[in-house]
Amino acid sequence: MLLPGGARVPGEVRGLAATAPTGPEEGTGEEAEPGLEATVAVTGKHRIPALDGATVNVLFTERVREHVLSVPLTALVAIGGGRFAVYASEGGARRQIVVKPGLAADGYAEVDGKGLRAGMTVEVGR
């Protein structure tokens, strides 16, 4: 859960309820989108201020993969035909390694490629 002010704390969703639109959005004249109200219990030993009724962002983890290589998304280079590569440096040599991207989150993507190893330096775009 992302609290007002930017702190992240783990939590458990205890309830979800759809909310009806409250009317036209201010200044636009367009109907507001329906929302979702979540009841979330903070887990662990975190001290947080009272948040009853506060707006927070809830981050859901769809899947977790462990023991995989990942690179910044900006390191992936499209090389045509739906394929991707990274430029890696090792021992002063620069080479292109074709990779297969997997799950992506928080600006990183899982990658698998022949010759790609943990600890290699990859170039990133700007």
Q: What is the pLDDT of residues 10-35, one digit of tens each?
A: 888 888 888 887 666 566 667 777 77
Residues 73 and 100 in one domain: yes
- Structural domain for 39, as ranges: 1-60
Phi then psi for 36, rounded to 5 degrees?
-140, 130
Comparison of pLDDT for 2 and 109, the residue scoring more: 109
pLDDT digits (tens, 9 = 90+) for 61-109: 777 888 899 999 999 999 999 999 999 988 888 999 999 999 888 899 9
Residues 35 and 8 in one domain: yes
Residues 45 and 79 in one domain: no
Q: Record the pTM.
A: 0.56
Confidence of residue 123 (pLDDT cuts 50, 70, 90): very high
Residues 54 and 74 in one domain: no
Number of residues in the chain: 126
Q: b/e string for 41-58 if b means 16 or more Cβ within 10 A?
A: eeeeeeeeeeeeeeebee
Residues 76 and 94 in one domain: yes
Q: Tell me: pLDDT of 38 over 80.
A: no
Instruction: Provide the token pair at 14.
Output: 């205890």
Contact 54, 62 (CB under 8 A): no
The residue written with tokens 């997997």 in the block is 102
CATH number for 87: 2.40.420.20
Residues 54 and 14 in one domain: yes
The residues, any chain, with a CB within 8 Å of residue 91's CB and separated by 6 or more, are none
Residues 79 and 104 in one domain: yes
Number of domains the chain contains: 2
Residues 89 and 115 in one domain: yes
